[in-house]
Amino acid sequence: MRAPVGVWATEAEQRPRATDGRAPDVFSRDGHVPMRQFEDGEDVDFAIVGTGCGGGVLAAKLAEAGLSVVAFDAGPFWRPLADFASDEREQDKVYWLDERLSDGDDPIELGSNNSGRCVGGSTVHFQMVALRFRPEWFAARSRLGYAVDWPVDWRTMWRYYAEVEDALKISGPVSYPWGPDRGRYPYRAHEVNAAGLVLARGAEALGVPWAATPLATVSAPRGKSPPCVYRGFCKIGCSTNAKQSVLVTYIPRALAAGAEIRDLAMVGRIESAGDGRVTGVHYHRDGQWRFQRARNVVVSGYSIETPRLLLNSATDRFPDGLANGSGTVGRYLMVHSNHAVWARFEEEIRWYKGPPSMAVCEHWNYVDDHPTKDFDGGYAFMSQGPLPVDFAKALVSNTGTFGTALRNRMAEYNHMAGLKIVGETMPQAENRVTLDEETDALGLRRARVTFSYADNDKRLFRHSLGFMKRMIEAAGGFDAYETSSTAHLMGGCRMGHSPEDSVTDADGRTWDVPNLWICDGSLMPTAGGVNPSMTILANAARIADRMKALAARGELAARHA
C-alpha cells in the first residue's frame, strides 16, 4: 500500500506477519508463537481497532475471560530484537507518517511527536514515564473548579493504576513524594543519570521535592526482558525489550489467551445495520478490502484516528458520524504543553545515557494556593535526554540558528541539561478533529486537527518557564534558553455523565450505539499534568472488567453472555 519507511526489515511493512495460525514472537529474532484465527464471516465477540494502551489491554483481558477477539492495527508487527536499529531516521518506521492537516492558532506537530503506527501503538516509542493522575483531577470541576469531572471515582482508578503498574513491572522509588500512598513499585528505581541529578540539585536548592521517575523499563530481569542497559534510544523503540511496551506485555498475553492480532490492517469504516447497531468493520489488508463481522466494535485508535474512523463511518441514519448525536466526536482534543528550559553546565552531563527522563518534579501539580499560581490545572517537569536529531530540531525550530553557529551550539550537546514540562491544557470544544476533503491512498478522508491554546494554558507554561529557569540556574546551568512544543494527545471522544456533551458513558460504551465502544486516550475528559499512558492503560483495564461484568450479566452482545 505504501513504500516502506525503513531500510531494514521492510518485509514487516509490506506483508502481514500475523498469518497462517502464528504471530511474531516478539522475544525472538525470527520466531513465532501460535495464534488462533477467526474467519471474516464469524461473528466475533469483539473487533478492536488499535493495539496500543487501549486496545492491547482490552484484547488481553477480554480474551483471558474467554471472549473471542480480533484486534486490528494499521501498522507492522515488529520483533524489536531484530528489527530496531540505533538510528533516529530508520526508526521513523514506528510512527504514523501519513499526512494529517494541522491548523488553529497553535497548530500541533503530529507524526513522531505523538503518533505511533505499529502493534503496541505509542508505547513502542513512549519514554516510559509512568505517573498517576492527582486524585482530585478526576473531579476537576467539583474539587478544583475547572473543566469537567470524570465519570469515574479516583479510588477506582487507583486500584487499576496498581494493576497496570504490576503488569508493566514499573521500576520506581521506594516512596513517592506526592499524592496518597501508592504502595511499593514492583521493581526498584533505576540509578539516576547526570541529567536527572541536575533536576535533583535544582529542586533541593529551591526547596521542592523531586523523585526518581517511575519508569516502564525493568531494573532487573523479568521473564524474557533483560534489565535496561541505559542505551538511551527509548524514544525510537527499545531494541533489547527492557521497555515494557504493550507490544511485549499485553500483546503476548492476548495471543496466548486466543486473541487474533491482524497487523497491516487499516480499518476504514464501521458498518451499521438498519437497527442502529454496528455489525463489523471494513478493513484493508494484503491489498484488498475485507469485512469482519463482530457483535461489538471497540475503537482504540487514539485521539486522531478514533474520531476520524467514527466520522468516516457516517450513514444516512448517522449523517454526522457514528456515535455523534451530541456533536462531541472529535471535540475537546487536548495536548500537553511541552515547554522547556535548557542550559549549559561546566561538567559533562552526557544526557544520551539512560532513559531520557530519570528525575521528576510534580510540585506544581499538587499546589493550589500560591501567590504565583495564576492558572488552573498543573504541570510536572522532568530531566531530559534528547537524541541528537531531536535536540537539533528543537534548537532550529525555536531559534532559527544555522551555519557554524548551529554546529557550535550542537557541539555543547554533552554539556547540556534541560527541564521540560508536561503541562495540562484545558478541554475546549473548538480544539478538534474533523475530516478534510482530501483522501489518503486508501480513499479515506484525512484528519484535520485544529488546536489553539487557551489563555489559561499560556499562563501555565509561562509560569513553568520562569520556575524551571530559576531551578536550572540554581543547579549551576548558564546560557539558559527556552523552547516550546507539545506532547501527547488526549480527548477527542470523551466519556462523561450525559449523552448531551460526551460520546460514551463511564464504561466506554457510546451513548448512541449500544454495541459500539471506545477505549483509548480519546476518552479522557481532562488532560492532567502528567504523561497519559498509565491513565489510559488503567482506564482500559477498568473498562475490560466492566465489559466482563456486563457480559456475565447478559447486558452485552456477546456469545458467552
Partner 1 sequence: MSETFLAPYPDYDVLAKWDTPSWNEQTREVMAHRLREVPGRRFFDEEEWAVLVAVCERVVPQPERAEPVPIAPWIDAALFEGRGTGTHFATLPSGPEAWRRGLESIDREARARHGCGFAALDATRRDDILEAVDAGDVDAAIWRDLPARTFFRHLLLEQIVALYYVHPDAQSEIGFGGPASPRGYVRLGPDRLDEWEAPAAAKRP
Residues 108-137 that bind partner 1 (CB under 8 A): 108-113, 115
Among 102, 315, 452, 484, binds partner 1 (CB under 8 A): 102
Do residues 209 and 198 lie in contact, with contact meaning Cβ atoms separated by under 8 Å? Answer: no
Which cell is 357 given? 527522563
Residue 458 CB, shortest distance to partner 1, in Å, is 20
Contact characters 227-256, partner 1, x per CB under 8 A: -xxxxxx-----xx----------------
Task: Report if residue 86 touches partner 1, rule: CB under 8 A.
Answer: yes
Do residues 503 and 518 lie in contact, with contact meaning Cβ atoms separated by under 8 Å? Answer: yes
Task: Report if residue 188 touches partner 1, rule: CB under 8 A.
Answer: no
DSSP state of 334: E
Closest CA to 128 of 252, 212, 226, 26: 212
Residue 270 CB, shortest distance to partner 1, in Å, is 24
Q: Stretches 17-25, 147-155, 164-172, 406-414: which one binds partner 1 (CB under 8 A)?
A: 406-414
Task: Report if residue 5 touches partner 1, rule: CB under 8 A.
Answer: yes
Name which of residues 460 to 519 contact partner 1 (CB under 8 A): none
Residue 205 CB, shortest distance to partner 1, in Å, is 16
DSSP state of 143: I
Residue 501 CB, shortest distance to partner 1, in Å, is 27
Among 33, 139, 144, 396, binds partner 1 (CB under 8 A): 396
Residue 62 CB, shortest distance to partner 1, in Å, is 30
Closer of 50 and 378 to partner 1 (Cβ): 50
Instruction: Name 449's Cβ contacts closer than 8 Å, sequence gap at least 6.
Output: 100, 101, 102, 103, 104, 107, 108, 110, 304, 333, 432, 433
Which cell is 346 given? 561546566
Instruction: Name 319's Cβ contacts closer than 8 Å, sequence gap at least 6.
Output: none
Task: Report if residue 414 touches partner 1, rule: CB under 8 A.
Answer: yes
Angle at which helices 194-206 and 455-474 cross, to 10°: 100
Closer of 85 and 561 to partner 1 (Cβ): 85
Rounded to an integer, what distance in angstroms lies between the CA atom of residue 523 and that of residue 58? 14
Closer of 447 and 556 to partner 1 (Cβ): 447
Rounded to an integer, what distance in angstroms lies between the CA atom of residue 148 and that of residue 65? 33
φ, ψ dihedrals at 474, nearest 5°: -65, -25
Among 397, 439, 478, 560, binds partner 1 (CB under 8 A): 397
Task: Report if residue 146 touches partner 1, rule: CB under 8 A.
Answer: no
Which cell is 1 given? 500500500
Name which of residues 311 to 340 contact partner 1 (CB under 8 A): none
Residue 324 CB, shortest distance to partner 1, in Å, is 23
Among 139, 406, 454, 480, binds partner 1 (CB under 8 A): 406
Task: Report if residue 412 touches partner 1, rule: CB under 8 A.
Answer: yes
Rounded to an integer, what distance in angstroms lies between the CA atom of residue 351 and that of residue 359? 12
Do residues 272 and 322 lie in contact, with contact meaning Cβ atoms separated by under 8 Å? Answer: yes
φ, ψ dihedrals at 328, nearest 5°: -95, -15
Which cell is 334 given? 487536548
Which cell is 449 given? 486537527
Q: Stretches 1-9, 43-51, 362-370, 552-560: which one binds partner 1 (CB under 8 A)?
A: 1-9
Do residues 494 and 367 lie in contact, with contact meaning Cβ atoms separated by under 8 Å? Answer: no
Closest CA to 266 of 63, 523, 13, 36: 13
Task: Report if residue 99 touches partner 1, rule: CB under 8 A.
Answer: yes
Name which of residues 23 to 52 contact partner 1 (CB under 8 A): none
Residue 258 CB, shortest distance to partner 1, in Å, is 32
Task: Report if residue 192 touches partner 1, rule: CB under 8 A.
Answer: yes
Among 105, 402, 443, 455, binds partner 1 (CB under 8 A): 402
Task: Report if residue 218 touches partner 1, rule: CB under 8 A.
Answer: no
Task: Report if residue 1 touches partner 1, rule: CB under 8 A.
Answer: no
Task: Report if residue 442 touches partner 1, rule: CB under 8 A.
Answer: no
Task: Report if residue 85 touches partner 1, rule: CB under 8 A.
Answer: yes
Among 68, 122, 127, 193, binds partner 1 (CB under 8 A): 193
Name which of residues 53 to 82 contact partner 1 (CB under 8 A): 82
Name which of residues 336 to 355 contact partner 1 (CB under 8 A): 345, 347-350, 352-354
DSSP state of 461: H
Task: Report if residue 144 touches partner 1, rule: CB under 8 A.
Answer: no
Name which of residues 354 to 373 contact partner 1 (CB under 8 A): 354
One-letter amino acid identity for 276? G
Do residues 425 and 527 lie in contact, with contact meaning Cβ atoms separated by under 8 Å? Answer: yes
Among 43, 88, 136, 545, binds partner 1 (CB under 8 A): 88
Query: Residue 262: in which H helix or E strand, if any?
Result: strand 260-262
Among 371, 400, 443, 554, binds partner 1 (CB under 8 A): 400
Q: Where are the alpha helices (DSSP H) in 330-436?
A: 388-399, 404-410
Angle at which helices 55-64 and 533-552 cross, to 10°: 30
Residue 350 CB, shortest distance to partner 1, in Å, is 7
| Residues contacting partner 1: total by CB under 8 A | 78
Closer of 89 and 559 to partner 1 (Cβ): 89
As a dihedral over the C-alpha atoms of residue 517, residue 519, residue 521, residue 523, rounded to 10 degrees, the angle is: 40
Q: Stretches 41-49, 95-103, 136-144, 527-535: which one binds partner 1 (CB under 8 A)?
A: 95-103
Rounded to an integer, what distance in angstroms lies between the CA atom of residue 438 and that of residue 101? 10
